């Protein structure tokens, strides 16, 4: 969605001090990790578009730490990291590594890594997929007691390749796959980086689902679409929204990005063909004007109070009976529980699979 928040600033002397850097290497190399011993699978998940993870660490650390400590997720999926990939000008990029190519970037990386080496994040291993600039990017935090069999950074499951803008992290566990995506915004026009880009993305998602149906999937992230009218606070407002008076030639492309008829129809097709269940809507069938949305517009201006649910947990039908809870952690038009972002965290908890025996369970 369109952002309403200030860009990353240099760290000032008023920034809260963070614990010293951990000497442990925290980044994956893009080729996955070796399969570990048979362990209990993750059952608690959080997804969040942080709208600059560095800013959230600098400005909202105590609240964010409390959320993670209280819910104690096994996996945390972040979108819009907005930290550039390593590799200076004219040099090859390492999209799985934070840049420290300038003094400012080194300082920013140090702030972030200090925070991530301290509780509660010190208990997680992190994988990054980053853009070339402070744009987009994703991160995946997995508790160290859970070892993915493989981690990919693209929908094609090719080792070391990263999607443009770092939009995908795919972790393969023994009994399921977890897909974290920052799906492209549809935009307002019939252009390469707007409607056309989103159509291509949706087609690739369908292809991915058809090629990975051998194992249940948990797909989470900012999917940048509101499927039904119940998923927006003001359906008429979003259905008739325009940018500078422009009206697309195809009426199916009219309206707020994320709520156009064409996007919503394609999303329905994706869910049907992928046999996916919307975990939140599976449990919450009635409208919730207080805490039923994950994105909120600028508190000042015409988008005040206008909210959408565009952040999801979609799970394969085989997993739906294991859904214990799926919750939006933000509420109200004053962005309570958004922790400085324009999106709030969303959590999912699954029950343990009945097939697990006691000897295969490892305590956190």
- The stretch 126-143 carries a mean pLDDT of 97
- The stretch 312-327 carries a mean pLDDT of 98
CB 326 within 8 A of CB 347: yes
- The stretch 277-285 carries a mean pLDDT of 98
- The stretch 316-321 carries a mean pLDDT of 98
* Rg, Å, the chain Cα set: 20
Q: What is the pLDDT of residue 215?
A: 96
DSSP letter (8 states) at residue 42? P
Higher pLDDT, 26 or 201: 201
Q: What is the pLDDT of residue 1?
A: 52
Q: What's the gap between Cα 90 and its chain centre?
A: 30
- Categorize the per-residue pLDDT at 356 as very low, low, confident or very high, splitting at 50, 70 and 90: low
- Categorize the per-residue pLDDT at 337 as very low, low, confident or very high, splitting at 50, 70 and 90: very high
- The stretch 228-256 carries a mean pLDDT of 96
CB 84 within 8 A of CB 131: yes
- The stretch 237-265 carries a mean pLDDT of 96
Rounded to the nearest 5 degrees, what angle is found at the Cα of 213, between the Cα atoms of 172 and 259? 90
- The stretch 143-152 carries a mean pLDDT of 97
Range in 11-15, 44-48, 293-297, 323-327 with the lowest mean pLDDT: 11-15
Q: What is the pLDDT of residue 31?
A: 43
Whether residue 290 is predicted with pLDDT greater than 60 in this model: the reply is yes
Residue labelled with tokens 């000897």:
359
Q: What is the pLDDT of residue 355?
A: 65
Q: What are phi and psi of 204, to 5 degrees?
A: -65, -35
| Annotated catalytic residue 356 | no
For the chain, give the percent of residues with pLDDT over 90: 81
Q: What is the pLDDT of residue 351?
A: 97
Q: What is the pLDDT of residue 4?
A: 40
| Annotated catalytic residue 135 | no
Q: What is the pLDDT of residue 247?
A: 93
Which is catalytic among the residues 95, 124, 152, 182? 182
Q: What's the gap between Cα 297 and its chain centre?
A: 18
- The stretch 187-192 carries a mean pLDDT of 90
Which is catalytic among the residues 74, 165, 202, 222? 222
Higher pLDDT, 202 or 2: 202
Contacts of residue 344, Cβ cutoff 8 Å, sequence gap at least 6: 48, 294, 296, 311, 328, 329, 330, 331, 335, 337, 338
Q: What is the pLDDT of residue 49?
A: 98
Q: What is the pTM of this model?
A: 0.87
- The stretch 328-333 carries a mean pLDDT of 94
Q: What is the pLDDT of residue 354?
A: 81
Question: In Å, how far are 198, 241, 345, 346 from 192, measured between CA atoms?
Answer: 9, 21, 30, 31
Higher pLDDT, 297 or 363: 297
């Amino acid at each position: 969605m369109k952002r309403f928040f200030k860009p990353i600033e240099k760290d000032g002397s008023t920034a809260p001090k963070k614990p010293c850097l951990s000497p442990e290497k925290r980044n994956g190399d893009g080729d996955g990790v070796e399969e570990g011993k048979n362990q209990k699978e993750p059952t608690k998940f959080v997804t969040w578009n942080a709208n600059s993870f560095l800013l959230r660490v600098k400005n909202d650390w105590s609240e964010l730490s409390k959320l993670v400590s209280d819910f104690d997720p096994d996996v945390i999926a972040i979108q819009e990291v907005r930290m550039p990939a390593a590799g200076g000008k004219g040099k090859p990029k390492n999209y799985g590594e934070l840049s420290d190519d300038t003094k400012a970037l080194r300082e920013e990386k140090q702030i972030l890594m200090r925070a991530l080496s301290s509780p509660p994040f010190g208990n997680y291993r992190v994988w990054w997929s980053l853009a070339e600039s402070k744009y987009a990017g994703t991160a995946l935090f997995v508790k160290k007691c859970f070892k993915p069999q493989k981690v990919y950074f693209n929908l094609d499951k090719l080792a070391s390749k990263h999607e443009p803008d770092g939009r995908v992290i795919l972790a393969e566990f023994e009994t399921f796959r977890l897909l974290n995506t920052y799906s492209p915004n549809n935009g307002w026009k019939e252009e390469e980086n707007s409607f056309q880009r989103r159509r291509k993305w949706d087609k690739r998602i369908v292809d991915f689902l058809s090629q990975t149906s051998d194992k249940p999937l948990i797909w989470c992230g900012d999917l940048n679409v509101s499927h039904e009218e119940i998923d927006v606070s003001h359906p008429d407002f979003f259905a008739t929204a325009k940018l500078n008076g422009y009206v697309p030639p195809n009426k199916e492309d009219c309206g707020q990005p994320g709520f156009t008829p064409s996007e919503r129809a394609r999303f329905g097709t994706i869910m049907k063909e992928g046999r996916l269940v919307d975990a939140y809507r599976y449990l919450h069938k009635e409208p919730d004007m207080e805490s039923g949305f994950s994105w909120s517009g600028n508190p000042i201006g015409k988008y005040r109070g206008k909210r959408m649910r565009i952040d999801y947990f979609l799970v394969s039908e085989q997993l739906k009976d294991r859904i214990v809870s799926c919750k939006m952690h933000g509420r109200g038009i004053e962005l309570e529980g958004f922790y400085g972002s324009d999106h709030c965290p969303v959590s999912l908890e699954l029950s343990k699979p009945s097939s697990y025996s006691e000897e295969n369970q490892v305590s956190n």
